[in-house]
Chain A
Protein backbone atom coordinates (compact mmCIF):
# COMPACT_ATOMS: atom_id res chain seq x y z
CA UNK A 1 0.00 0.00 0.00
CA UNK A 2 2.88 2.29 0.68
CA UNK A 3 4.82 1.09 -2.29
CA UNK A 4 6.11 3.62 -4.75
CA UNK A 5 6.90 6.40 -2.33
CA UNK A 6 10.54 6.26 -1.21
CA UNK A 7 10.07 8.93 1.46
CA UNK A 8 7.29 6.96 3.11
CA UNK A 9 9.26 3.73 2.79
CA UNK A 10 12.21 5.39 4.53
CA UNK A 11 9.99 6.81 7.27
CA UNK A 12 8.55 3.35 7.92
CA UNK A 13 11.99 1.78 8.01
CA UNK A 14 13.29 4.29 10.53
CA UNK A 15 10.10 3.84 12.56
CA UNK A 16 10.73 0.08 12.70
CA UNK A 17 14.29 0.70 13.91
CA UNK A 18 12.97 3.08 16.58
CA UNK A 19 10.57 0.41 17.86
CA UNK A 20 13.36 -2.14 18.07
CA UNK A 21 15.59 0.30 19.97
CA UNK A 22 12.65 1.10 22.20
CA UNK A 23 12.34 -2.53 23.29
CA UNK A 24 16.10 -2.81 23.65
CA UNK A 25 16.22 0.12 26.06
CA UNK A 26 13.35 -1.33 28.08
CA UNK A 27 15.74 -3.95 29.43
CA UNK A 28 16.76 -1.84 32.41
CA UNK A 29 15.14 0.93 34.48
CA UNK A 30 18.08 3.27 33.82
CA UNK A 31 17.49 3.35 30.05
CA UNK A 32 13.79 2.56 29.89
CA UNK A 33 12.51 6.13 29.59
CA UNK A 34 14.73 6.62 26.58
CA UNK A 35 12.95 3.55 25.21
CA UNK A 36 9.61 5.31 25.50
CA UNK A 37 10.99 8.32 23.62
CA UNK A 38 12.30 6.10 20.83
CA UNK A 39 8.86 4.51 20.58
CA UNK A 40 7.16 7.90 20.40
CA UNK A 41 9.55 9.08 17.71
CA UNK A 42 8.92 5.92 15.69
CA UNK A 43 5.18 6.43 15.97
CA UNK A 44 5.44 10.05 14.89
CA UNK A 45 7.47 9.07 11.82
CA UNK A 46 5.01 6.33 10.90
CA UNK A 47 2.02 8.65 11.14
CA UNK A 48 3.61 11.60 9.33
CA UNK A 49 4.87 9.25 6.63
CA UNK A 50 1.38 7.87 6.14
CA UNK A 51 -0.12 11.34 5.89
CA UNK A 52 2.26 12.03 2.98
CA UNK A 53 0.80 9.21 0.89
CA UNK A 54 -0.95 10.67 -2.10
CA UNK A 55 -4.10 8.59 -1.59
CA UNK A 56 -4.52 10.00 1.87
CA UNK A 57 -6.41 13.23 1.36
CA UNK A 58 -9.25 13.49 3.84
CA UNK A 59 -7.25 15.41 6.44
CA UNK A 60 -10.20 16.90 8.35
CA UNK A 61 -11.58 13.46 9.20
CA UNK A 62 -8.15 12.15 10.17
CA UNK A 63 -7.42 15.16 12.33
CA UNK A 64 -10.81 14.75 13.99
CA UNK A 65 -10.18 11.11 14.85
CA UNK A 66 -6.64 11.78 16.06
CA UNK A 67 -7.86 14.61 18.28
CA UNK A 68 -10.74 12.59 19.66
CA UNK A 69 -8.42 9.67 20.41
CA UNK A 70 -5.96 11.96 22.16
CA UNK A 71 -8.73 13.63 24.12
CA UNK A 72 -9.66 10.22 25.51
CA UNK A 73 -6.12 8.87 25.79
CA UNK A 74 -4.45 11.72 27.70
CA UNK A 75 -6.82 11.80 30.69
CA UNK A 76 -6.85 8.00 30.67
CA UNK A 77 -3.07 7.98 31.09
CA UNK A 78 -2.91 10.58 33.84
CA UNK A 79 -6.01 9.81 35.86
CA UNK A 80 -5.70 6.03 35.91
CA UNK A 81 -4.71 4.86 39.39
CA UNK A 82 -1.79 2.46 39.41
CA UNK A 83 -3.91 -0.26 40.99
CA UNK A 84 -6.03 -0.22 37.81
CA UNK A 85 -3.11 -0.90 35.47
CA UNK A 86 -4.25 -4.47 34.71
CA UNK A 87 -7.72 -3.20 33.74
CA UNK A 88 -6.28 -0.48 31.54
CA UNK A 89 -4.07 -3.00 29.82
CA UNK A 90 -7.04 -5.24 29.09
CA UNK A 91 -9.02 -2.32 27.68
CA UNK A 92 -6.17 -1.21 25.47
CA UNK A 93 -5.79 -4.73 24.09
CA UNK A 94 -9.44 -4.64 23.14
CA UNK A 95 -9.22 -1.19 21.51
CA UNK A 96 -6.12 -2.17 19.55
CA UNK A 97 -7.71 -5.39 18.37
CA UNK A 98 -10.93 -3.55 17.49
CA UNK A 99 -9.05 -1.13 15.24
CA UNK A 100 -7.35 -4.00 13.45
CA UNK A 101 -10.58 -5.97 13.09
CA UNK A 102 -12.47 -2.98 11.66
CA UNK A 103 -9.73 -2.33 9.11
CA UNK A 104 -10.12 -5.99 8.14
CA UNK A 105 -13.86 -5.51 7.64
CA UNK A 106 -13.38 -2.49 5.39
CA UNK A 107 -10.77 -4.26 3.27
CA UNK A 108 -12.93 -7.37 3.01
CA UNK A 109 -15.93 -5.33 1.84
CA UNK A 110 -13.69 -3.66 -0.75
CA UNK A 111 -12.71 -7.06 -2.07
CA UNK A 112 -16.35 -8.11 -2.15
CA UNK A 113 -17.36 -4.98 -4.08
CA UNK A 114 -14.61 -5.66 -6.59
CA UNK A 115 -16.01 -9.17 -7.06
CA UNK A 116 -12.71 -10.75 -6.12
CA UNK A 117 -12.28 -14.46 -5.56
CA UNK A 118 -9.83 -16.35 -3.41
CA UNK A 119 -6.55 -14.54 -2.99
CA UNK A 120 -3.76 -14.38 -0.48
CA UNK A 121 -5.22 -11.09 0.67
CA UNK A 122 -8.70 -12.45 1.34
CA UNK A 123 -7.28 -15.34 3.35
CA UNK A 124 -5.03 -13.04 5.38
CA UNK A 125 -7.95 -10.68 6.02
CA UNK A 126 -10.16 -13.51 7.26
CA UNK A 127 -7.41 -14.58 9.65
CA UNK A 128 -6.86 -10.99 10.76
CA UNK A 129 -10.55 -10.56 11.52
CA UNK A 130 -10.76 -13.76 13.58
CA UNK A 131 -7.81 -12.70 15.71
CA UNK A 132 -9.01 -9.11 15.92
CA UNK A 133 -12.58 -9.75 16.99
CA UNK A 134 -11.80 -12.58 19.38
CA UNK A 135 -9.05 -10.58 21.08
CA UNK A 136 -11.39 -7.61 21.33
CA UNK A 137 -14.23 -9.40 23.11
CA UNK A 138 -11.89 -11.62 25.15
CA UNK A 139 -10.16 -8.50 26.44
CA UNK A 140 -13.46 -6.83 27.28
CA UNK A 141 -14.41 -9.85 29.38
CA UNK A 142 -10.94 -9.90 30.97
CA UNK A 143 -11.49 -6.23 31.84
CA UNK A 144 -14.89 -7.01 33.35
CA UNK A 145 -13.35 -9.76 35.46
CA UNK A 146 -10.47 -7.56 36.63
CA UNK A 147 -12.85 -4.73 37.47
CA UNK A 148 -15.04 -7.33 39.18
CA UNK A 149 -18.05 -6.33 37.12
CA UNK A 150 -18.55 -10.06 36.70
CA UNK A 151 -17.45 -12.91 38.92
CA UNK A 152 -13.74 -13.61 38.98
CA UNK A 153 -14.48 -17.30 39.39
CA UNK A 154 -14.35 -19.47 36.29
CA UNK A 155 -17.68 -19.60 34.44
CA UNK A 156 -18.17 -23.25 33.71
CA UNK A 157 -21.10 -25.23 32.39
CA UNK A 158 -21.66 -28.75 31.22
CA UNK A 159 -20.50 -29.52 27.71
CA UNK A 160 -18.57 -26.28 27.56
CA UNK A 161 -15.62 -27.75 25.69
CA UNK A 162 -18.00 -29.10 23.11
CA UNK A 163 -19.77 -25.76 22.65
CA UNK A 164 -16.42 -23.99 22.39
CA UNK A 165 -15.28 -26.41 19.74
CA UNK A 166 -18.52 -25.95 17.80
CA UNK A 167 -18.21 -22.16 17.89
CA UNK A 168 -14.58 -22.41 16.84
CA UNK A 169 -15.35 -24.70 13.90
CA UNK A 170 -18.23 -22.47 12.78
CA UNK A 171 -15.99 -19.39 12.98
CA UNK A 172 -13.23 -20.97 10.96
CA UNK A 173 -15.81 -22.32 8.48
CA UNK A 174 -17.23 -18.82 7.89
CA UNK A 175 -13.68 -17.49 7.60
CA UNK A 176 -12.80 -20.01 4.91
CA UNK A 177 -16.01 -19.26 3.03
CA UNK A 178 -15.21 -15.53 3.12
CA UNK A 179 -11.65 -16.12 1.98
CA UNK A 180 -12.89 -18.19 -0.98
CA UNK A 181 -15.54 -15.71 -1.92
CA UNK A 182 -15.30 -12.30 -0.25
CA UNK A 183 -18.74 -10.85 0.44
CA UNK A 184 -20.31 -8.19 2.57
CA UNK A 185 -23.66 -9.79 3.34
CA UNK A 186 -25.01 -11.92 6.18
CA UNK A 187 -22.01 -14.26 6.06
CA UNK A 188 -19.64 -11.45 7.05
CA UNK A 189 -21.93 -10.44 9.89
CA UNK A 190 -22.25 -14.05 11.07
CA UNK A 191 -18.47 -14.36 10.92
CA UNK A 192 -17.96 -11.25 13.07
CA UNK A 193 -20.56 -12.44 15.57
CA UNK A 194 -19.03 -15.90 15.82
CA UNK A 195 -15.45 -14.67 16.22
CA UNK A 196 -16.62 -12.24 18.93
CA UNK A 197 -18.54 -14.99 20.70
CA UNK A 198 -15.50 -17.24 20.59
CA UNK A 199 -13.44 -14.57 22.35
CA UNK A 200 -15.95 -14.50 25.20
CA UNK A 201 -16.02 -18.29 25.45
CA UNK A 202 -12.25 -18.36 25.60
CA UNK A 203 -11.95 -16.18 28.69
CA UNK A 204 -15.15 -17.19 30.49
CA UNK A 205 -13.74 -20.36 32.09
CA UNK A 206 -10.57 -18.64 33.32
CA UNK A 207 -10.33 -17.54 36.93
CA UNK A 208 -9.00 -14.27 38.31
CA UNK A 209 -5.69 -15.72 39.54
CA UNK A 210 -4.83 -16.78 35.99
CA UNK A 211 -5.32 -13.28 34.63
CA UNK A 212 -1.57 -12.55 34.35
CA UNK A 213 -1.25 -15.36 31.80
CA UNK A 214 -4.42 -14.41 29.97
CA UNK A 215 -3.45 -10.76 29.66
CA UNK A 216 -0.04 -11.73 28.32
CA UNK A 217 -1.62 -14.12 25.85
CA UNK A 218 -4.11 -11.50 24.64
CA UNK A 219 -1.17 -9.14 24.19
CA UNK A 220 0.37 -11.75 21.96
CA UNK A 221 -2.84 -12.20 19.94
CA UNK A 222 -3.16 -8.44 19.42
CA UNK A 223 0.38 -8.42 18.05
CA UNK A 224 -0.30 -11.34 15.74
CA UNK A 225 -3.43 -9.63 14.45
CA UNK A 226 -1.36 -6.54 13.60
CA UNK A 227 1.17 -8.72 11.81
CA UNK A 228 -1.54 -10.47 9.80
CA UNK A 229 -2.87 -7.10 8.78
CA UNK A 230 0.63 -6.24 7.62
CA UNK A 231 0.60 -9.34 5.44
CA UNK A 232 -2.82 -8.50 4.01
CA UNK A 233 -1.78 -4.95 3.17
CA UNK A 234 1.83 -5.72 2.23
CA UNK A 235 3.10 -3.40 4.95
CA UNK A 236 6.44 -4.41 6.51
CA UNK A 237 6.24 -1.94 9.38
CA UNK A 238 3.04 -3.57 10.62
CA UNK A 239 4.54 -7.04 10.22
CA UNK A 240 7.64 -6.15 12.22
CA UNK A 241 5.77 -4.31 14.96
CA UNK A 242 3.16 -7.03 15.26
CA UNK A 243 5.86 -9.70 15.49
CA UNK A 244 7.64 -7.79 18.26
CA UNK A 245 4.41 -7.35 20.19
CA UNK A 246 3.40 -10.96 19.60
CA UNK A 247 6.77 -12.24 20.80
CA UNK A 248 6.59 -10.06 23.89
CA UNK A 249 3.16 -11.28 24.92
CA UNK A 250 4.11 -14.86 24.22
CA UNK A 251 7.27 -14.75 26.34
CA UNK A 252 5.42 -13.13 29.23
CA UNK A 253 2.73 -15.79 29.01
CA UNK A 254 5.36 -18.54 29.09
CA UNK A 255 7.03 -16.93 32.13
CA UNK A 256 3.65 -16.78 33.89
CA UNK A 257 2.90 -20.43 33.11
CA UNK A 258 6.30 -21.53 34.36
CA UNK A 259 5.81 -19.54 37.55
CA UNK A 260 2.69 -21.61 38.21
CA UNK A 261 4.07 -24.88 36.86
CA UNK A 262 1.10 -25.14 34.54
CA UNK A 263 0.72 -25.60 30.83
CA UNK A 264 -1.07 -23.22 28.48
CA UNK A 265 -3.76 -25.83 28.00
CA UNK A 266 -4.26 -26.07 31.74
CA UNK A 267 -4.60 -22.30 32.10
CA UNK A 268 -6.96 -21.95 29.16
CA UNK A 269 -9.17 -24.94 29.85
CA UNK A 270 -8.40 -25.98 33.41
CA UNK A 271 -11.03 -23.86 35.13
CA UNK A 272 -8.57 -23.26 37.96
CA UNK A 273 -10.02 -21.60 41.03
CA UNK A 274 -13.49 -23.10 40.96
CA UNK A 275 -15.18 -23.11 44.29
CA UNK A 276 -13.95 -26.47 45.40
CA UNK A 277 -16.23 -28.28 47.80
CA UNK A 278 -13.85 -27.17 50.49
CA UNK A 279 -11.61 -29.87 51.79
CA UNK A 280 -12.50 -28.79 55.28
CA UNK A 281 -11.21 -31.96 56.75
CA UNK A 282 -13.00 -31.44 60.02
CA UNK A 283 -9.85 -31.43 62.07
CA UNK A 284 -9.32 -28.08 63.68
CA UNK A 285 -5.74 -27.00 63.39
CA UNK A 286 -4.54 -24.32 65.72
CA UNK A 287 -2.90 -21.10 64.78
CA UNK A 288 -1.46 -18.19 66.70
CA UNK A 289 -2.47 -14.61 66.17
CA UNK A 290 -0.77 -11.41 67.20
CA UNK A 291 -1.72 -7.75 67.66
CA UNK A 292 -0.32 -4.59 66.02
CA UNK A 293 1.87 -4.00 69.04
CA UNK A 294 3.38 -7.49 69.10
CA UNK A 295 3.93 -7.53 65.38
CA UNK A 296 5.54 -4.10 65.35
CA UNK A 297 7.85 -5.09 68.15
CA UNK A 298 8.92 -8.27 66.41
CA UNK A 299 9.69 -6.35 63.24
CA UNK A 300 11.58 -3.68 65.14
CA UNK A 301 13.76 -6.26 66.85
CA UNK A 302 14.58 -8.12 63.67
CA UNK A 303 17.78 -7.62 61.71
CA UNK A 304 16.31 -8.62 58.38
CA UNK A 305 12.73 -8.58 57.15
CA UNK A 306 11.41 -9.83 53.83
CA UNK A 307 8.01 -8.51 52.83
CA UNK A 308 6.05 -10.72 50.43
CA UNK A 309 3.20 -8.80 48.78
CA UNK A 310 0.32 -10.32 46.85
CA UNK A 311 -2.90 -9.29 45.17
CA UNK A 312 -4.44 -8.62 48.58
CA UNK A 313 -2.09 -5.66 49.00
CA UNK A 314 -3.37 -4.19 45.73
CA UNK A 315 -7.00 -4.75 46.66
CA UNK A 316 -6.54 -3.07 50.03
CA UNK A 317 -4.53 -0.24 48.35
CA UNK A 318 -2.01 -0.82 51.10
CA UNK A 319 1.18 -0.06 49.13
CA UNK A 320 1.70 3.43 50.57
CA UNK A 321 1.26 2.23 54.15
CA UNK A 322 3.65 -0.62 53.37
CA UNK A 323 6.15 1.96 52.12
CA UNK A 324 5.80 3.86 55.41
CA UNK A 325 6.50 0.64 57.26
CA UNK A 326 9.55 0.17 55.06
CA UNK A 327 10.77 3.70 55.92
CA UNK A 328 10.21 3.21 59.63
CA UNK A 329 12.02 -0.09 59.77
CA UNK A 330 14.89 1.05 57.55
CA UNK A 331 15.41 4.12 59.74
CA UNK A 332 15.69 1.79 62.72
CA UNK A 333 18.44 -0.15 60.99
CA UNK A 334 16.37 -3.15 59.91
CA UNK A 335 17.28 -4.57 56.50
CA UNK A 336 14.00 -4.73 54.55
CA UNK A 337 13.56 -6.35 51.16
CA UNK A 338 10.55 -7.27 49.07
CA UNK A 339 10.18 -10.70 47.50
CA UNK A 340 8.21 -10.62 44.25
CA UNK A 341 6.65 -13.76 42.86
CA UNK A 342 6.16 -13.58 39.08
CA UNK A 343 2.42 -14.22 39.32
CA UNK A 344 1.72 -12.07 42.36
CA UNK A 345 -1.09 -9.72 41.35
CA UNK A 346 -3.18 -9.63 38.24
CA UNK A 347 -0.64 -8.94 35.53
CA UNK A 348 3.08 -9.49 34.98
CA UNK A 349 5.06 -7.02 37.08
CA UNK A 350 1.97 -5.72 38.94
CA UNK A 351 3.59 -5.65 42.41
CA UNK A 352 6.73 -3.91 41.15
CA UNK A 353 4.70 -1.03 39.75
CA UNK A 354 2.66 -0.60 42.92
CA UNK A 355 5.73 -0.59 45.16
CA UNK A 356 7.66 1.69 42.83
CA UNK A 357 4.69 4.05 42.96
CA UNK A 358 5.03 4.06 46.74
CA UNK A 359 8.69 5.10 46.40
CA UNK A 360 10.33 1.80 47.25
CA UNK A 361 13.75 1.82 45.52
CA UNK A 362 13.71 -0.82 42.82
CA UNK A 363 16.84 -2.61 43.99
CA UNK A 364 14.85 -3.63 47.07
CA UNK A 365 12.40 -5.55 44.88
CA UNK A 366 13.92 -8.99 44.61
CA UNK A 367 12.89 -11.85 42.33
CA UNK A 368 11.77 -15.14 43.77
CA UNK A 369 14.84 -17.15 42.69
CA UNK A 370 17.22 -14.66 44.23
CA UNK A 371 15.44 -14.21 47.53
CA UNK A 372 14.88 -17.88 48.30
CA UNK A 373 18.58 -18.39 49.10
CA UNK A 374 18.31 -15.66 51.75
CA UNK A 375 15.16 -16.91 53.42
CA UNK A 376 16.83 -19.16 56.06
CA UNK A 377 18.83 -16.16 57.32
CA UNK A 378 15.77 -13.92 57.37
CA UNK A 379 14.38 -13.07 60.78
CA UNK A 380 10.84 -12.25 59.75
CA UNK A 381 8.92 -12.99 56.57
CA UNK A 382 5.94 -10.64 56.45
CA UNK A 383 3.26 -11.76 54.02
CA UNK A 384 0.78 -9.12 52.91
CA UNK A 385 -2.15 -10.34 50.86
CA UNK A 386 -0.33 -13.28 49.28
CA UNK A 387 -1.33 -16.88 49.77
CA UNK A 388 -0.73 -19.55 47.16
CA UNK A 389 2.68 -18.15 46.20
CA UNK A 390 3.98 -18.91 49.71
CA UNK A 391 2.18 -22.21 50.21
CA UNK A 392 4.79 -24.82 51.15
CA UNK A 393 2.34 -27.50 49.99
CA UNK A 394 3.30 -26.62 46.42
CA UNK A 395 6.81 -27.81 47.20
CA UNK A 396 6.18 -30.62 49.68
CA UNK A 397 2.83 -32.17 48.86
CA UNK A 398 2.72 -33.88 45.46
CA UNK A 399 -1.06 -34.19 45.78
CA UNK A 400 -1.62 -30.46 46.23
CA UNK A 401 -3.59 -28.70 43.47
CA UNK A 402 -0.63 -26.38 43.02
CA UNK A 403 2.06 -29.06 43.37
CA UNK A 404 5.27 -28.09 41.63
CA UNK A 405 4.50 -24.39 41.50
CA UNK A 406 7.64 -22.48 42.50
CA UNK A 407 7.07 -20.60 45.74
CA UNK A 408 8.75 -17.96 47.84
CA UNK A 409 9.97 -20.05 50.75
CA UNK A 410 8.58 -17.95 53.57
CA UNK A 411 8.39 -21.04 55.74
CA UNK A 412 12.20 -21.18 55.87
CA UNK A 413 12.43 -17.80 57.61
CA UNK A 414 12.98 -17.76 61.37
CA UNK A 415 9.55 -16.27 61.96
CA UNK A 416 6.55 -15.69 59.71
CA UNK A 417 3.81 -13.12 59.92
CA UNK A 418 0.74 -13.21 57.71
CA UNK A 419 -1.65 -10.31 57.33
CA UNK A 420 -4.96 -11.80 56.29
CA UNK A 421 -8.64 -11.05 56.68
CA UNK A 422 -9.55 -14.44 58.06
CA UNK A 423 -8.54 -18.07 57.94
CA UNK A 424 -10.41 -18.61 54.65
CA UNK A 425 -8.32 -20.31 52.00
CA UNK A 426 -7.04 -18.23 49.10
CA UNK A 427 -8.18 -18.04 45.53
CA UNK A 428 -7.21 -21.57 44.64
CA UNK A 429 -9.25 -22.78 47.58
CA UNK A 430 -6.28 -24.64 48.98
CA UNK A 431 -5.42 -24.73 52.63
CA UNK A 432 -2.01 -23.35 53.54
CA UNK A 433 0.12 -25.27 56.02
CA UNK A 434 2.20 -22.17 56.56
CA UNK A 435 -0.54 -20.67 58.73
CA UNK A 436 -0.35 -23.48 61.28
CA UNK A 437 3.40 -23.52 61.80
CA UNK A 438 4.78 -22.97 65.27
CA UNK A 439 6.67 -19.88 64.13
CA UNK A 440 3.79 -18.26 62.30
CA UNK A 441 1.76 -15.37 63.66
CA UNK A 442 -1.50 -14.54 61.95
CA UNK A 443 -2.27 -10.85 61.85
CA UNK A 444 -5.99 -10.58 61.21
CA UNK A 445 -7.44 -7.53 59.55
CA UNK A 446 -7.46 -5.33 56.50
CA UNK A 447 -3.93 -5.09 55.09
CA UNK A 448 -3.96 -1.30 54.96
CA UNK A 449 -5.36 -0.82 58.46
CA UNK A 450 -3.09 -3.40 60.00
CA UNK A 451 0.06 -1.99 58.45
CA UNK A 452 -1.07 1.50 59.45
CA UNK A 453 -1.45 0.21 63.00
CA UNK A 454 2.08 -1.15 62.98
CA UNK A 455 3.48 2.07 61.54
CA UNK A 456 1.78 4.04 64.29
CA UNK A 457 3.24 1.70 66.87
CA UNK A 458 6.73 2.04 65.41
CA UNK A 459 6.62 5.81 65.15
CA UNK A 460 5.14 6.06 68.62
CA UNK A 461 8.47 7.21 69.95
CA UNK A 462 11.12 5.36 71.84
CA UNK A 463 9.72 2.24 73.31
CA UNK A 464 12.23 0.28 75.33
CA UNK A 465 13.10 -3.18 74.29
Chain B
Protein backbone atom coordinates (compact mmCIF):
# COMPACT_ATOMS: atom_id res chain seq x y z
CA UNK B 1 0.00 0.00 0.00
CA UNK B 2 2.96 2.31 0.39
CA UNK B 3 4.07 4.46 -2.43
CA UNK B 4 7.61 3.47 -3.24
CA UNK B 5 10.13 5.69 -4.90
CA UNK B 6 9.64 5.47 -8.62
CA UNK B 7 12.35 6.95 -10.87
CA UNK B 8 9.69 7.50 -13.53
CA UNK B 9 8.01 10.03 -11.28
CA UNK B 10 11.22 11.97 -10.96
CA UNK B 11 11.59 11.97 -14.74
CA UNK B 12 8.03 13.28 -15.05
CA UNK B 13 8.79 16.04 -12.57
CA UNK B 14 11.97 17.13 -14.32
CA UNK B 15 10.36 17.15 -17.75
CA UNK B 16 7.34 19.05 -16.48
CA UNK B 17 9.51 21.64 -14.72
CA UNK B 18 11.54 22.10 -17.89
CA UNK B 19 8.39 22.49 -19.95
CA UNK B 20 7.07 24.95 -17.39
CA UNK B 21 10.17 27.13 -17.71
CA UNK B 22 9.86 27.20 -21.49
CA UNK B 23 6.15 28.01 -21.42
CA UNK B 24 6.27 30.69 -18.75
CA UNK B 25 9.22 32.46 -20.36
CA UNK B 26 7.00 33.16 -23.36
CA UNK B 27 4.20 34.73 -21.37
CA UNK B 28 3.88 38.46 -22.08
CA UNK B 29 4.79 40.62 -19.07
CA UNK B 30 1.41 42.26 -19.60
CA UNK B 31 -0.23 39.13 -18.30
CA UNK B 32 1.87 38.31 -15.26
CA UNK B 33 -0.92 38.98 -12.78
CA UNK B 34 -3.50 36.81 -14.55
CA UNK B 35 -0.79 34.20 -15.10
CA UNK B 36 -0.29 33.99 -11.38
CA UNK B 37 -3.96 33.58 -10.65
CA UNK B 38 -4.25 30.99 -13.43
CA UNK B 39 -1.37 28.84 -12.18
CA UNK B 40 -2.90 29.18 -8.76
CA UNK B 41 -6.22 27.85 -9.99
CA UNK B 42 -4.52 25.00 -11.82
CA UNK B 43 -2.47 24.06 -8.77
CA UNK B 44 -5.78 23.64 -6.96
CA UNK B 45 -5.92 20.28 -8.73
CA UNK B 46 -4.60 19.15 -5.36
CA UNK B 47 -8.33 18.94 -4.73
CA UNK B 48 -8.20 15.42 -6.18
CA UNK B 49 -6.02 14.26 -3.28
CA UNK B 50 -8.43 15.91 -0.86
CA UNK B 51 -11.47 14.33 -2.53
CA UNK B 52 -9.94 10.87 -2.18
CA UNK B 53 -9.34 11.40 1.54
CA UNK B 54 -12.80 12.81 2.12
CA UNK B 55 -14.50 10.18 -0.04
CA UNK B 56 -12.94 7.08 1.50
CA UNK B 57 -15.04 4.86 3.74
CA UNK B 58 -14.64 4.19 6.53
CA UNK B 59 -12.90 7.41 7.37
CA UNK B 60 -11.77 8.62 10.77
CA UNK B 61 -13.20 11.82 12.23
CA UNK B 62 -9.79 13.36 11.59
CA UNK B 63 -9.67 12.40 7.92
CA UNK B 64 -13.26 13.57 7.42
CA UNK B 65 -12.67 16.92 9.10
CA UNK B 66 -9.34 17.74 7.49
CA UNK B 67 -10.49 16.31 4.17
CA UNK B 68 -13.56 18.52 4.24
CA UNK B 69 -11.50 21.62 4.97
CA UNK B 70 -8.99 20.68 2.27
CA UNK B 71 -11.64 20.11 -0.41
CA UNK B 72 -13.33 23.39 0.52
CA UNK B 73 -10.09 25.39 0.50
CA UNK B 74 -8.96 23.95 -2.83
CA UNK B 75 -12.41 24.52 -4.35
CA UNK B 76 -12.37 28.18 -3.29
CA UNK B 77 -9.06 28.50 -5.09
CA UNK B 78 -10.00 26.79 -8.28
CA UNK B 79 -13.39 28.47 -8.63
CA UNK B 80 -12.23 31.97 -7.76
CA UNK B 81 -8.92 31.46 -9.55
CA UNK B 82 -10.40 30.62 -12.93
CA UNK B 83 -13.18 33.20 -12.68
CA UNK B 84 -10.96 36.07 -11.63
CA UNK B 85 -8.36 35.20 -14.27
CA UNK B 86 -11.03 35.40 -16.92
CA UNK B 87 -12.35 38.62 -15.42
CA UNK B 88 -8.88 40.14 -15.67
CA UNK B 89 -8.24 38.87 -19.18
CA UNK B 90 -11.54 40.28 -20.43
CA UNK B 91 -10.23 43.73 -19.58
CA UNK B 92 -7.19 43.48 -21.84
CA UNK B 93 -8.46 45.07 -25.03
CA UNK B 94 -6.85 46.21 -28.20
CA UNK B 95 -7.17 49.86 -29.13
CA UNK B 96 -9.47 49.39 -32.11
CA UNK B 97 -11.96 47.14 -30.42
CA UNK B 98 -13.67 49.82 -28.39
> Which residues of A are at the interface with B, using a C-beta cutoff of 8 A?
1, 15, 19-20, 22-24, 26-29, 32-33, 35-36, 39-40, 42-43, 46-47, 49-51, 53, 55-59, 61-62, 64-66, 68-70, 72-74, 76-78, 80, 82, 85, 88-89, 92-93, 95-96, 98-100, 102-103, 105-107, 109-110, 114, 116, 119-121, 124, 215-216, 219, 222-223, 226-227, 229-252, 255, 340, 342, 347-350, 352-353, 356-357, 359, 361-365, 367
Complex contact A248–B74 (CB within 8 A): no
For residues 1 through 42 of chain B, which have their beta carbon under 8 Å from a beta carbon of chain A? 1-6, 9, 12-13, 16-17, 19-21, 23-42
Nearest CB in chain B to that of A68: its residue: B72
Complex contact A119–B2 (CB within 8 A): yes
Partner of B21, one of A57, A78, A251, A349: A251
Partner of A247, one of B4, B24, B28, B97: B24
Find chain B residues with CB under 8 A from A359 CB: 91, 93, 98
Find chain B residues with CB under 8 A from A92 CB: 37, 40, 76-77, 80-81
Report which residue of A35, A66, A243, A248 has the largest number of chain B beta carbons within 10 angstroms of its beta carbon.
A248
Partner of B44, one of A96, A114, A233, A248: A96
Label chain A's interface by main secondary structure. Answer: helix
For residues 37 through 69 of chain B, which have their beta carbon under 8 Å from a beta carbon of chain A? 37-57, 59-60, 62-64, 66-69
| Least Cβ–Cβ distance between A146 and chain B, in angstroms | 13
Cα A231 to Cα B30 in complex, Å, equals 34
Q: Considering the complex of A and B, which 9 residue pairs feature the smallest CB-CB distances, nearest first?
A: A69-B75, A247-B20, A349-B32, A73-B79, A56-B55, A77-B83, A361-B95, A349-B33, A65-B71
Find chain A residues with CB under 8 A from B31 CB: 26-29, 32, 349, 352
Complex contact A245–B75 (CB within 8 A): no
